[in-house]
Homo-oligomer: A and B are copies of this chain.
Amino acid sequence: MSQTLTEIFEHYFDFWKELSETEIEFVCANTRKVSYPKGAYVHQGPLDCIGALLIRSGQLRVYTMSEDGREVTLYRLFAGDVGILSASCVLDALTFDVYIDAEEDTEVLLTDAAAFRRLVEGNIHVRCYAYELATQRLSDMLWKMQQVLFLSADRRFAIFLLEESAQNGSGEIHLTHEQIARYMGTAREVVSRMVKYFNQEGWIKNSRGCIKIIDRQALEQLKGK
């Protein structure tokens, strides 16, 4: 690594300046670089507790799963994001478990669970940071679950297209219907039906593996205020 761990952590964590020399050494000694190849399981619900993740490159997908294996993607983590739910064992208030997969080859800095727990218990600034971040993530997840539960498919699809295009900074979305269905927590058939419908309305143009947004205003209108 060209940067030292301390430089990286200082940049991302407000609580860093509140740590003692001993705590800083302790965190660094218990943090390691981990690489997940595309498709790897990073965290599996109640089964494991890996600690806290700082994503350096790549992409992680956080999702929940029904008993019969239906998935709902809750959010995705990109470079610079911190994954705190992978340390659910550390935060006593967390009773909701998630699954995390690597969507691309991903590099993370992983602070192991036991060390992270000691830090959270020993330093109120770290504890406050962890719970504030957990509140943020859970709040976003609830918003997502509410969408799945309540919104009509066309509105959800419009929101997905707009968010995805904002994310990659272009008017094109290079994803298969299968992938979109997984991200949206719906069936591939529903996505294909939506693509056809949006195509016919002239809002998007669909070609092999790529959806191009044609009428952004129409999508915004569908999305609502």
CA distance A149 to B185 in the complex (A): 11
- The interface bits of chain A over 105-144 (1 if a CB of B lies within 8 angstroms of the residue's CB, else 0) are 0000000000000000000110110011111101111110
Question: What copy number does this chain have within its complex?
Answer: 2
Q: Select the residue from A70, A142, A148, A150 with max chain B CB neighbours within 10 A.
A: A142
Cβ–Cβ < 8 Å partners of A60 in chain B: none
Contact between A150 and B66 (Cβ–Cβ < 8 Å)? yes
Tell me the residues in window 14-62 of chain A with beta carbons closer than 8 Å to chain B beta carbons: none
Q: Which residue of B lies closest to A67 (CB)?
A: B150
A191 within 8 A of B: no
Cβ–Cβ < 8 Å partners of A145 in chain B: 142, 145-146, 149
A1 within 8 A of B: no
A217 within 8 A of B: no
A222 within 8 A of B: no
Residue in B66, B95, B151 whose beta carbon sits within 8 Å of that of A140 in the complex:
B95
A166 within 8 A of B: no
Cβ–Cβ < 8 Å partners of A190 in chain B: none
A contact patch SS: helix
A91 within 8 A of B: yes
Contact between B146 and A95 (Cβ–Cβ < 8 Å)? no
Q: Which residue of B lies closest to A74 (CB)?
A: B142
With A124-B125, A128-B124 already in contact, the answer to whether A139 and B66 are too (CB < 8 A) is no
Q: Which residue of B lies closest to A70 (CB)?
A: B150
Q: Which residue of B lies closest to A95 (CB)?
A: B139
With A139-B94, A141-B142 already in contact, the answer to whether A149 and B149 are too (CB < 8 A) is yes
With A141-B142, A142-B145 already in contact, the answer to whether A135 and B72 are too (CB < 8 A) is no
Residue in B64, B68, B124, B135 whose beta carbon sits within 8 Å of that of A135 in the complex:
B135
Contact between B149 and A91 (Cβ–Cβ < 8 Å)? no
With A132-B93, A135-B138 already in contact, the answer to whether A149 and B150 are too (CB < 8 A) is no
Q: Which residue of B lies closest to A65 (CB)?
A: B150
Binding site for B on A (CB under 8 A): 64, 66-68, 70, 72, 91, 93-96, 124-125, 127-128, 131-136, 138-143, 145-146, 148-151
The 4 closest A-B pairs by CB, nearest first: A66-B150, A138-B138, A131-B131, A93-B136
